[in-house]
Amino acid sequence: MPVSGFTKRFTGLSGASRWAPAPPVVAVLLAVLLSIAGCSPDAGNADENWTKYMSQATQAWHQNNYPQAENLLNAAIKEAEHGDNLLWQPESWALLGDVQVSGHKLVDAEASYRRALALYENILAQKAGDALQRRSVLRTHAELLGKIADVIAGEGKLKEAETDYSQALEEGKKCFISLDVQNKITGRYAKLLKALNKSNEAAQLESEIVANEGVKTAQSELEEGEKLFDKCDDNAKVKFLTARTIARQHQQRQEETSALLLLAQTEVCDGDQEQAQRYAQEAKVIARQSGEKEQICDSLTILSIVKEARGERQAAAQLLQEAQKINANFCAIVFSSIACHHLGKLHYDRAVPFFKHAIEMLDRSDHPWNGGALARLDWRNQNLAALGNCYHEIHDYDAAQKVYAELLSNSKNAPPSERAKILDLQATNYYDGEKVSESLTALQQEMALIKANNSSKEALAPVLNCMASCYLALKRPKEAESCWRDAIASTSNEMQRAIYQRHLAATYFDEQKYPEASAMYQNLLPLVDKAPAQVRVTLLKEIGAAFRKAHRYAEAEKVEQSIRQQAD
Give average pLDDT by consecutive 10-residue segment, the chain, 568 residues: 28 26 31 36 58 92 94 91 83 93 92 91 75 74 87 88 85 74 84 89 85 82 92 92 90 90 95 95 95 94 96 95 94 95 94 96 84 80 94 96 93 85 93 95 93 84 94 95 95 91 95 94 88 85 94 93 80
Residue 324, exposed/middle/buried by CB under 10 A (0-12, 13-18, 19+)?
buried
What percent of the residues of the chain are helix, what percent strand, and what percent coil, each to the nearest 5?
80, 0, 20
Give yes or no for a contact between 304 and 320, defined as CB atoms under 8 angstroms apart.
Answer: yes
Q: What are phi and psi of 113, to 5 degrees?
A: -65, -40
- Alpha helices by DSSP H, 411-513: 416-432, 436-452, 457-473, 477-490, 494-510
CA distance 48 to 198: 50
Q: State the pLDDT at residue 48.
A: 80
Q: Which amino acid is residue 39, in one-letter code?
A: C
CATH 3.40.50.720, applies to 211-367: no
Q: State the pLDDT at residue 217.
A: 86
Give yes or no for a contact between 427 and 408, defined as CB atoms under 8 angstroms apart.
Answer: no
**How many C-alpha atoms does 373 have within 13 Å on its Cβ side?**
2
Q: State the pLDDT at residue 25.
A: 31
**Per-residue exposure over 347-360, b if at least 16 CB sit within 10 Å of its own CB, e if not:** bbebbbbbbbbbbb
Q: State the pLDDT at residue 55.
A: 92
Residue 233 per-residue DSSP state: -
Q: What is the DSSP string of 494-515?
A: HHHHHHHHHHHHHHHHHTT-HH
CA distance 389 to 383: 10
Stretch (H or E) spanning 246: helix 236-249
CA angle 527, 528, 529 (to 5 degrees): 95
Q: State the pLDDT at residue 87.
A: 85
Q: State the pLDDT at residue 6.
A: 28
For the chain, the straight-line distance linking the first and the last C-alpha, in angstroms and rounded, comes to: 24
Give yes or no for a contact between 109 and 145, defined as CB atoms under 8 angstroms apart.
Answer: no
Q: State the pLDDT at residue 2.
A: 28
Q: Which amino acid is residue 400, in one-letter code?
A: A
Instruction: Provide the total of helices (H) and of strands (E) in the chain, helices listed first.
Output: 25, 0
Sequence-distant (6+) residues with CB within 8 A of 386 are 16, 19, 20, 21, 339, 340, 343, 351, 355
Domains 211-367 and 463-568 fall in the same CATH topology:
yes
Q: State the pLDDT at residue 516.
A: 95
CA-wise closest residue to 415 among 447, 450, 442: 450
CATH class of domain segment(s) 463-568? mainly alpha
- What is the domain partition of the chain in residue ranges? 8-24+370-455, 211-367, 463-568
Q: At what angle do helices 199-230 and 253-270 cross, to 10 degrees?
A: 10
CA distance 514 to 518: 6
Sequence-distant (6+) residues with CB within 8 A of 125 are none
